[in-house]
Amino acid sequence: MGDWVFVCATSQLLPGESTVAWDGDTAIFVCNYDGDFYALEDRCSHEDFELSAGAFDGEEATVECVLHGARFDVRDGRPLCAPAYEPVVKFPVKVEDGGVWTRDDRE
């Protein structure tokens, strides 16, 4: 299991905003939906493309891949429409000492 990676201060990621953190070679899309923080692998499950290049909808809790329009629920990574049928990998998030942390917990 990897070490926790500092993303940013909670004050730097307001509701409706997103950013990208790196855990080694893994890009992690981190967003604030309604005061809660979520982290997904920054890679569309339909085609290897950065989700962070697309639009994060802070009201609907979705991120849309700009390449082909696949949308995912940021809370659990599940696909919401074609062409994606597989979920995006979700990573743990913790808020500690005013900071947001995540990690790639895959073995």
- Contact at 8 Å (CB) between 6 and 13? no
- Contact at 8 Å (CB) between 81 and 89? no
Domain spans in the chain, listed from the N-terminal domain onward: 5-102
Query: What is the per-residue pLDDT across 19-37, written as a single tens digit (0 to 9) for each?
Result: 999 999 999 999 999 999 9
Question: Strands of 18-23's sheet, edge to edge?
Answer: 18-23, 26-33, 36-41, 90-91
Q: What is the DSSP letter of 79?
A: B
pLDDT confidence band for 107 (50 / 70 / 90): confident
C-alpha span between 15 and 29 (Å, rounded)? 14
Query: What is the per-residue pLDDT across 85-101, written as a single tens digit (0 to 9) for each?
Result: 999 999 999 999 999 99
Q: Which fold has domain 5-102?
A: Rieske Iron-sulfur Protein (2.102.10)
Q: What residues pair up with 102 in beta bridges, in sequence order?
A: 5, 93
Mean pLDDT across the chain: 96
